[in-house]
Amino acid sequence: MDCIFCNIISGKFDSAKVYEDADVLAFLDVYPVTKGHCLVIPKKHCQDIFDIPESDLQKVMASGKQISQKIKDVLKADGIRLSQSNGRAAGQDVMHFHLHVIPRYEDDGVLMHGASVAHPQKADFEELKKLAETVKFG
């Protein structure tokens, strides 16, 4: 299997980690919608909401809640958007279940309608690593 998220979990690809435990990994998105945009994934490969075991889904969501609070506090976000898509028609680009934690800021200029958002610019990876250190916990 050639799954980019599985390669991140295994350490084959680097990431700007903000949280990790035995079952869940969270890292900053390299194409962030806003500053602090994270992805929360199960370490077990699951394609989508229909494939993920309930226990793993609960762990991802609980981690997403903790990460949301940390980002809101540290980055002074005005709100947090949680987003998750299932299947290409719904906008899922990576076929490994993932939860987007997207900080929102007053007047951030980001227009989001449903599950679609224009693909943002790729972030500077070194800047992401520095930012990850400010919101890392666990």
Query: Is 11 within 8 Å of 5 (Cβ atoms)?
Result: no
Q: Which residues is 80 bridged to in the sheet?
A: 103
Q: Is 45 a catalytic residue?
A: no
Cβ contacts of residue 27 below 8 Å, gap of 6+? 8, 15, 16, 17, 18, 38, 39, 132
User: Which stretches of the chain are DSSP H helices?
Assistant: 4-10, 54-75, 125-135
The catalytically annotated residue of 37, 45, 96, 98 is 98
| Positions marked catalytic | 98
